[in-house]
């Protein structure tokens, strides 16, 4: 194997490894603090971006106090590949009704670790290890102000803790956003930006192969 072929093979291997890790985790995909008029309707959406189910038993949520176990979310159970779940301040029934969500959408209500305009979302696994974090503040970090209008994180930016790259929801946007009965705008319960199985991996592999050919 020539040196150029070796470089290409290494690049391909690293690319595939990155693709696997990027596609195999629970990620924070949407969030909103408070609600229209300042009422308690905030939520966080997490999504299983991987190719296999993940059991959330023993998992937890916290805000900027960064304390594993602070608010248990294990009752969400098993998230299938591509499935989203909601952690919210209202009761499950109230949130489901306001957004017209079916019984198939996993929701855990009663979150007491309330979010503010400048705050943080932390997701921990059953061992208390940090799985994903989103630190946001539209006044200093940038990104949308998510009071009553949720922020959406594109697939390419998941896990990067880059609130400045998030996009504010708008009715009929590419994320399928709409207005709740309370006047909030978002798309809780589903995440539309996950690539079809194999697409991301093939794209990375194709880039590595093209790079090798150019060198040759």
My answer on whether 90 and 175 are in the same domain is yes
My answer on whether 15 and 110 are in the same domain is no
My answer on whether 91 and 6 are in the same domain is no
DSSP E strand boundaries for the chain = 26-32, 43-48, 54-55, 60-62, 71-72, 78-79, 84-88, 106-108, 118-124, 130-137, 151-152, 167-168, 178-179, 185-186
My answer on whether 15 and 40 are in the same domain is no
My answer on whether 188 and 113 are in the same domain is yes
- Rounded to whole angstroms, how far apart are CA atoms 90 and 68? 21
Q: Are strands 118-124 and 130-137 parallel, antiparallel or unpaired?
A: antiparallel
The closest alpha carbon to 186, from 175, 177, 176, belongs to 177
**pLDDT, position 20:** 37
Q: Is the pLDDT of residue 107 over 50?
A: yes
| Domains in the chain, number | 2
**pLDDT, position 53:** 94
> What percentage of the chain has pLDDT greater than the value 90?
74
My answer on whether 47 and 129 are in the same domain is yes
My answer on whether 8 and 84 are in the same domain is no
My answer on whether 103 and 168 are in the same domain is yes
Global pTM reads 0.82
Tell me the two tokens of residue 213: 């050919």
- Rounded to whole angstroms, how far apart are CA atoms 166 and 163? 5
Q: Is the pLDDT of residue 215 over 90?
A: no
- Rounded to whole angstroms, how far apart are CA atoms 28 and 163? 11
Query: Residue 171 contacts by C-beta under 8 Å, 6 or more apart in sequence?
Result: 177, 178, 179, 185
Tell me the two tokens of residue 94: 């109230």
My answer on whether 32 and 118 are in the same domain is yes
Q: Is the pLDDT of residue 211 over 90?
A: no
Instruction: Report the range of poorest mean pLDDT among 19-23, 41-45, 65-69, 203-207.
Output: 19-23
Tell me the two tokens of residue 153: 């994180």
Mean pLDDT within 82-90: 97
**pLDDT, position 24:** 54
My answer on whether 146 and 176 are in the same domain is yes
- State CA 148 to chain mean position distance: 18
Q: Is the pLDDT of residue 194 over 60?
A: yes
Condensed to tens digits (0 to 9), the pLDDT of residues 127-183 reads 999 999 999 999 999 999 999 999 999 999 999 999 999 999 999 999 999 999 999
My answer on whether 159 and 213 are in the same domain is no
- Rounded to whole angstroms, how far apart are CA atoms 129 and 126? 7
- Which domain range does residue 87 map to? 27-194
Q: Is the pLDDT of residue 2 over 70?
A: no
The closest alpha carbon to 46, from 98, 91, 111, belongs to 111
Is the Cα torsion angle 72, 75, 77, 83 positive or negative in sign? Answer: negative
């Amino acid at each position: 194997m020539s040196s150029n072929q070796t470089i290409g093979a290494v690049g391909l291997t690293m690319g595939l490894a990155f693709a696997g890790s990027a596609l195999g985790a629970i990620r924070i995909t949407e969030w909103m603090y408070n609600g229209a008029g300042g009422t308690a309707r905030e939520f966080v959406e997490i999504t299983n971006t991987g190719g296999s189910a993940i059991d959330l038993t023993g998992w937890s949520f916290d805000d900027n106090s960064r304390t594993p176990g602070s608010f248990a979310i294990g009752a969400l159970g098993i998230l299938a590949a591509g499935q989203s779940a909601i952690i919210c301040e209202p009761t499950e029934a109230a949130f489901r009704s306001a957004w017209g969500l079916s019984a198939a959408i996993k929701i855990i209500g009663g979150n007491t670790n309330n979010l503010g305009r400048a705050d943080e979302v932390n997701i921990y696994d059953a061992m208390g290890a940090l799985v994903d974090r989103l630190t946001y503040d539209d006044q200093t970090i940038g990104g949308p102000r998510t009071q009553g209008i949720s922020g959406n994180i594109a697939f390419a930016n998941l896990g990067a803790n880059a609130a400045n790259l998030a996009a504010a929801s708008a009715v009929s946007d590419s994320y399928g956003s709409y207005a709740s009965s309370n006047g909030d705008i978002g798309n809780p319960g589903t995440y539309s930006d996950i690539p079809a199985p194999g697409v991301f991996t093939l794209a990375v592999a194709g880039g590595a192969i093209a790079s090798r050919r150019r060198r040759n």
